[in-house]
Structure 1
């Protein structure tokens, strides 16, 4: 007879956090509700608006909580599992808190050949943080919660390498000096 595994303190904590997040309702604010209503009109079926709806929800909430998934599922008339599948498939969606600014550093061959490591090392030093991993975003998030630093695959801008993306904005032909200017602008 198969004996169920005992619940660990960590599992109980995670389950409790998920229940709390579900019990804390999410809804679009007025501005985002208007944007969502306009967005839905562009698609023949609601489900087709999944990606832009998740982007909108993540911009408002900061990351995709179970309550956000439930709300998006209700709005798009799909199951929560379908929303969860999309959230876990695409690396641009986060299920845990990230910094106000998510800095994605491309490290594929064209960027590597044009010194992306210099840019990445400079960012690590300036931000005094490590690089986030898919399983540990907090590792790459600054103590003040302002920045999260990540390495990513191609950002499709090989001709202007090295590149980084900060939230939805692409920055190209980077040098440590350009990084300093960008960080100063973001910090103000």
Structure 2
């Protein structure tokens, strides 16, 4: 278990985040009555550069927003689309909700895992794909559904997996 202290060490934010990221975070801060409300937006801004947010970046954001690191870490780990460790160039989220489960989730999941040669939470050796489950994509009428980066697909049949993955070569 990771223990996060509320004692926020001051950091040189400019050495961790880009000038553009800092400016964008400050811009979002002005949209909310409390700076902490910009936490999720700030995490998304920083994640755009590397595809994930490391501890130093999260701490820098906490410093800008003047909130405890434990609060920042709580936001970062609560939302499943904020990645706290490196991910592949493309993130595949397979919906495992009841609706998708009933319409073929198990066969689809098995085919994707087989073709990629990885299990959930892993990244392919070439760094191309990371595979993660997600509890619902809101695409229940088109299950089983898959989200790759920002693109939603469904219903996806196991026979369509190879063609779908090739779109992200």
Q: TM-score range by the shorter chain?
A: 0.7 to 0.9
- Whole-angstrom distance in 1 between the partners of 2:64 and 2:12: 17
- Whole-angstrom distance in 2 between the partners of 1:80 and 1:59: 20
Residue 90 of structure 2, aligned match among 82, 101, 115 = 101
Displacement after TM superposition at 1:34 (Å)? 5.0
Residue 18 of structure 2, aligned match among 19, 22, 28 = 28
Residue 168 of structure 1, aligned match among 135, 150, 158 = 150
Question: Which of structures 1 and 2 has the bigger CA Rg?
Answer: 1
Gaps of 5+ in 2: 1-10
- Whole-angstrom distance in 1 between the partners of 2:19 and 2:150: 21
Where 1:54 maps in the other structure, the secondary structure is helix
Q: For 1:33-52, list aligned pairs within 5 A.
A: 33-52=22-41
- Alpha carbons 2:54, 2:84 under 8 Å: kept: yes
Give the structure-2-normalised TM-score.
0.81
- Decide whether aligned partners of structure 1 residues 150 and 157 sit closer, same or farther in structure 2, where only a CA change above 3 A counts: same
- Whole-angstrom distance in 2 between the partners of 1:170 and 1:52: 22
- Between structures 1 and 2, the one with greater helix share: 1
Displacement after TM superposition at 1:179 (Å)? 2.9
Q: For 1:47-66, list aligned pairs within 5 A.
A: 47-66=36-55
Gaps of 5+ in 1: 1-21, 133-139
1:28-69 Cα deviation digits (max 9, x unpaired): 353x44543443332222211111211121222322211111
- Whole-angstrom distance in 2 between the partners of 1:182 and 1:98: 19
Aligned length, in residue pairs: 158
Q: For 1:3-152, list aligned pairs within 5 A.
A: 25-28=15-18, 30=20, 32-132=21-121, 140-152=122-134
- Decide whether aligned partners of structure 1 residues 23 and 180 sit closer, same or farther in structure 2, where only a CA change above 3 A counts: farther
- Alpha carbons 2:25, 2:38 under 8 Å: kept: no
Displacement after TM superposition at 1:76 (Å)? 1.5
Give the structure-1-normalised TM-score.
0.74
Quote the residue 2:141 is aligned against: 159
- Whole-angstrom distance in 2 between the partners of 1:127 and 1:68: 30
Higher relative contact order (CA 8 A, sep 6+): 2
